[in-house]
Structure formats: structure tokens, C-alpha cells
Amino acid sequence: MSRYPFIVVEGLDGTGKTTLRKGLFRLLQGLTGVTPLAVLTTNFLNPCVAGDLVDGKYNPTPANRERYLKSLAADKEATSTRLIAPSLTSRPVIADRWLLSEMAFFAVKHDQDPEVTYHALAGSCTTTPDLTLILDISPEAAMRRAAARQGDATRADWDVLHVQAGVRRIHQSVTAIPERFPQLGPIHVINADQSRADVLYAAWSALASNGLTTTNGAP
């Protein structure tokens, strides 16, 4: 069925995910003439698991690990079926993080094999991304950028060097064997240690290479 593309942007904190998402938003809006939908990795569409989502993300413990994983699965399913799939018939969808981020979180915070997390969540992510873009940069550079952001955008238990280094290792290990993770869709790694314009150009080139600048034949 003809539809618009579903694009995911992943990367360490401070790599420019929000900036890239906004740039792609504007480009796709200009190309398609419609306003894309932007979603997050967690969207709280299933009220029954909202408390477990907050507890598991901000206070991860061995006791709440499984509840958090199940709540993520419920939220992914609700987001996939109620937001993403219906929207793709009329507009592009851009996700600020999605499945790969959850795999990295459980690996770093719970020492859980990324494949275990993947298989626990993949069935709930019923719409496969047409492209997953990973912004890659050294953890040291990412932390410098994150520290320069205004407000309370950084987290003391997450935006620290050893955690972000662990997240990057997971990204690298997954991209080395993409065939094991088909629900991530095609993966394209972008060097984020370059200008915003060059990052956006690299992302747009990746979309073009995957036939996504023609909106998958959508009207």
C-alpha cells in the first residue's frame, strides 16, 4: 500500500538528534506539502502502564526491570497502532529514538543482552521503520555538547561518560549485525562530528538512497 516514510533518529545524548529531526521535518514538509508527525520513544498512550514507564526509566532497579520492559511493549504497541500506522497514509512520521534506544538502555542499566530486549519488544513495534539513522560521535564530544544545553535537559545518572560510552558500544555492536534486528529497518550511520548542514545533507542523501524522498509512492 502506498504510504509516507517512517524514519527513526538515534544517537547519544548531545549528538544533534533534535536538530536533525527538525531539519528533516522541514524538508519533508516542503517535499510532501503536509506536516510530518513527530513521536518519541515513549508516548504514554496506554494509561495502564504510565506509572511503570516513569518508574522504570527514572529509577531503574532489578525489581522493576520486567515491569518496565512490559510497559514499554504496551506503549510501543499503542504508539505503533494508534499513531504511526494510521498517520503513514497521510504524512511522514519521524521518531526521536525508538527500538534501538531501549536495547541500549537495558544493556547499560540492566546488563541485559540487546537481543533479549529486542525480542521482547520487536513484536510490539508493528510498523518497521523505513530507515533508522544513527548519529555517531565520541562519548566525550557528546557529553560536551549535552553539558552546553540550557535548562535541565541532562540527567545525572544517564548523561555521564561511562554510560554514554556503553550506549555507543551497543549501537556499534548492533550495526555490525543488522540482519539480526530486522525491526530496526535499514540502518545508516552518520558522522555527527560535522556541521549541522552536513549532517542534514548526509541524512537526506540516505533517505534518497532508500527511495524515501519520493514518499514511497504516497499521494
State pLDDT tens for residues 154-179. Answer: 677 787 889 999 999 999 999 999 99
Upper half-sphere CA count for residue 219 (Cβ side, 13 Å) = 3
What is the pLDDT, as a whole number, of residue 209? 95
Q: Which residues pair with 190 in a beta bridge?
A: 135
Q: Are 20 and 206 in contact (CB under 8 A)?
A: no
pLDDT score at 1: 44
pLDDT mean across residues, the chain: 92
Provide the pLDDT for residue 218: 54
Q: What mean pLDDT do residues 102-121 have? A: 97
pLDDT digits over 178-195, tens only?
999 999 999 999 999 999
Q: Determine the 3-state secondary structure of 132 from DSSP.
A: strand
Q: What is the pLDDT of residue 143?
A: 87
Please choose, from the candidates 15, 10, 9, 8, the residue with its C-alpha nearest in 3D space to the C-alpha of residue 138.
15
Give 63-99 pLDDT, tens digit per residue. Answer: 999 999 999 999 999 999 999 999 999 999 999 999 9
For residues 217 and 176, which has the higher predicted lDDT (pLDDT)? 176
Sheet containing strand 37-40, edge to edge, reads 37-40, 93-96, 6-11, 131-136, 187-191
Beta strands, E only, 55-179: 93-96, 131-136
Please tell me the least confidently modeled range out of 6-15, 40-49, 127-136, 147-156.
Answer: 147-156
Q: Is the pLDDT of residue 15 over 80?
A: yes
Q: How confident is the model at residue 151 (pLDDT cuts 50, 70, 90)?
A: low
Q: How far apart are CA 192 and CA 43, in angstroms?
A: 26
Mean pLDDT, residues 199-207? 97
Say if residue 216's pLDDT is above 60: no
Q: What is the pLDDT of residue 217?
A: 46
